[in-house]
Amino acid sequence: ADEPTSGLSATDAESCIRYMRLLAKKFGLTFVVSIHQPRPEVAKLFDHLLLLTSNPGRVVYNGPMRDAAGACASVGYAVPDFVNPTDYMLDLVTPGMKTGHPEDFVKYYEEHSQAQVEALVASELENERQSALELVSEQLRHVSEDWGTLPPVRNSVYGVRFRRQLALVFQRQLLLSLRDPLGIGMEIGVALGQSIVIGVAYIDVSSKANFSQALFFFMMVMTVALVGMKVMPKLIDERLVVKKETSEALYSDWAYILSFSIINTIISLIGNGIFVVLVFWMSNAGWELLPEMMFWLTMLCLVMDSVYTLVAAIAKNSESAMMLALPFLTLFLLYNGFTLREDQLPHVMTWLMWLSPVAYTMEAVMMFAAHAQPDVFQVICDTMGYKHQEGLALGFLIGALVVFRLASVVCFKRLNNIRR
């Protein structure tokens, strides 16, 4: 305890130390207390004294509190009558004081006590002691004799089991998401707004030219790829609070990671579903295309959401998150397989197309559209060079989702930690 009596009156300071002594004796605890200028009644409550001088800090006494005055007299400076012993000793060992003689005390300690203290320490280090868990368990057994059966002590820094942590953190995250303006309300609002903008722009798109219909699919894919960016500020704002709480062992960071991942994924899927359904309804794009479109856009939504979560886990703040997201956006959105195709790239650059989840999604969507309406979309697929490789596309999207999720977990746990 660091100066537990600072700011207290002399009476309250004595009451505080008496209570600490009571706890120490009753529960078999050891209190290490730093204290300055205690009154005699307070000093007598301590069993052991370690007295230090300063500039530099050196030990001048290490022994029972009751023997401190005698040790002072042995150095040649007996405590006068009617003088507070602690004040007197502090004056003697403080450099710069007129009455200070710290070197005499240091020399006396080194000649008469230091060897014995070091030998005692070396001897005790050789003795195997009870672990903290064993000490607490033994004390709990004594308490149980007075108060009845108590839960067993767990060998963990956390007060409750992980499933209890997860339940409580999940409940809190869910309530915050419902209350937060950046939570589920904004997700639904953004989905509605995007649906209106794109739906109005492509009203009755099925009656338009085939390229206009393909452009409609492309706009939906690009919108889904970009909409997940809104998760970054929220995660960065929450991260500081979570890091502080987990550093105090209030709960495991895995409880937050799982809670955030589950809730954020559900919210993203709700927003994505609203967006796709409303756009199809407003644009009259052909309901037979909806299930496949929903599937591929959902996969893209999950992948891009994991990308933005990774960026947020790495970035120190929202501004740096936007800068870190630019390389991913450049790669995924520029190499999209529609406005930029593989046959338009230099041979040494074609591999970049293989790394874009947007390109795989666009190809899968167009190939299904060509299968459902070959007279409308087949010619576009032939022109763009699209192929039937849905298995490869699905495998890539699942693999990217796993890689980015795992990377975001590692970065969240390793980076931007609280220093104590």
- Name the band, by pLDDT with cuts 50, 70 and 90, for residue 248: confident
Kindly report, residue by residue over 252-280, the tens digit of the pLDDT.
999 999 999 999 899 889 999 999 999 99
Sequential DSSP letters for 339-357: SS-GGGS-GGGGGGGGG-H
CB 20 within 8 A of CB 51: no
Alpha carbon distance 64, 68 (integer Å):
7
- Name the band, by pLDDT with cuts 50, 70 and 90, for residue 181: low
- The whole-model pTM stands at 0.68
Q: Cis (ω within 30 of 0) for the bond into 40?
A: no
Alpha carbon distance 100, 93 (integer Å):
6
Q: Looking at the predicted structure, is the pLDDT value of residue 420 above 60?
A: no
Kindly report, residue by residue over 31-47, the tens digit of the pLDDT.
999 987 788 888 889 99
Q: Looking at the predicted structure, is the pLDDT value of residue 149 above 80?
A: no
> 239: Cβ–Cβ under 8 A, 6 or more apart, which residues?
312, 313, 412, 416
> 97: Cβ–Cβ under 8 A, 6 or more apart, which residues?
91
Kindly report, residue by residue over 110-140, the tens digit of the pLDDT.
998 889 988 988 888 888 777 777 777 777 7
Alpha carbon distance 304, 227 (integer Å):
9
- What angle do the packed helices 231-247 and 253-283 form, to 10 degrees? 170
Integer CA distances (angstroms), 305 to 309, 384, 401, in order: 6, 27, 9
Alpha carbon distance 259, 172 (integer Å):
9
Range list of β-strands (E), 107-153:
none
Q: Any idea how long the chain is?
A: 420
Q: Looking at the predicted structure, is the pLDDT value of residue 407 above 90?
A: yes
Kindly report, residue by residue over 51-67, the tens digit of the pLDDT.
998 888 899 999 999 89
- Name the band, by pLDDT with cuts 50, 70 and 90, for residue 304: very high
Kindly report, residue by residue over 341-376, the tens digit of the pLDDT.
888 888 888 888 899 999 999 999 999 999 988 988
CA atoms within 13 A on the CB side of 226: 13
Alpha carbon distance 302, 405 (integer Å):
10
